Structure formats: C-alpha cells, structure tokens
Amino acid sequence: MSSSEFSPQFETARSLEGGNPEKKESAATDLIRSIKTMGEVLKEYVNMARTIPEVTEVLQAEGDEGPYILTVISATPFDDGPRDSVFSAQLEVMQRMEAPLVGFHLVNIQELPGGLLEYQGLERPQVLWSR
C-alpha cells in the first residue's frame, strides 16, 4: 500500500501506538468487534464452535425470521456446561456484529429421541462444519 492510500484498519492500528491508554483500548476493541458480513459471521462462529468438544455440527438454515445458525451438540441431556460454552461463542459473535445478520439456535441431539429430524423448522440446512 502506498502512503497516499487510506486504510481505516491501518489508521486505527497506527493510532494505537501512542496517546491516551483509554483511546488505545477503545480503538483496539472497535477493530476486533467489527463483523460486517454474513460470511464473516459464519467463519468466526464456526472457528469458535469447532473447539467445543460436544459440538457435532454447525448448520445454516432459513427460518420465518430470516437466516439462522443451528449448532448441534451431543451431550448429557439437560447438562448446562456444553450449552454455556456454545452460548458464550454465540454471544461473542453477536456482540461483534455491526447489525443483526443471523439468529442462533442450539439443539442437543441426545434430547431428541427422533434425532435431528424431530427438530421443527429445519428446512434445507447447509452444513457449515461437521465433526
């Protein structure tokens, strides 16, 4: 990049080099939190979800209220531990979205005797990641 080109990310990063420590933290937070596209949301969320051992699949589907990500876990029924890990990843991504781009759903396959087919509202899902 030539010195005449402007890059907001570069300028934000450069502004972190000196000045008020509170401004440094604020600028760094703004740079980290910015998720603008559906592709970025999917990539960031899948990268987090795949590190949770109980997550078996991450799917994308369309619902009545728009697109959503369905996270499928296989865990002891009604165990909050794996759910909390998934909810934390979802919350982190939601906080970084500049606008609401997608909703999130979670299902524990061991709580559905009929398997994933029993989950209501799942139409033509796209598999984003599978263990």
CATH number at residue 113: 3.30.460
Question: 75 is in which domain, residue-wise?
Answer: 38-130
Collapsing DSSP to helix, strand or coil, 98 comes out as coil
Query: What confidence score (pLDDT) does residue 66 get?
Result: 86
User: Poorest-confidence range of 9-13, 42-46, 85-89, 114-118?
Assistant: 9-13
Q: Are 54 and 85 in contact (CB under 8 A)?
A: yes
Residue 98 · residue 35 · CB < 8 Å = yes
Can you read off the two tokens belonging to residue 87?
Answer: 């909810």
Does the pLDDT of residue 12 top 80, yes or no? no
**Do both 13 and 53 map to the same domain?**
no
**What is this structure's pTM?**
0.70
| pLDDT above 90 (res 79) | yes
Instruction: Clarify whether residues 26 and 44 are in a common domain.
Output: no
Contact between 60 and 123 under an 8 Å Cβ cutoff? The reply is: no
Total count of domains within the chain = 2
Residue 59 β-bridge partners: 70, 127
56 shares a domain with 22: no
* 66 & 106 share domain: yes
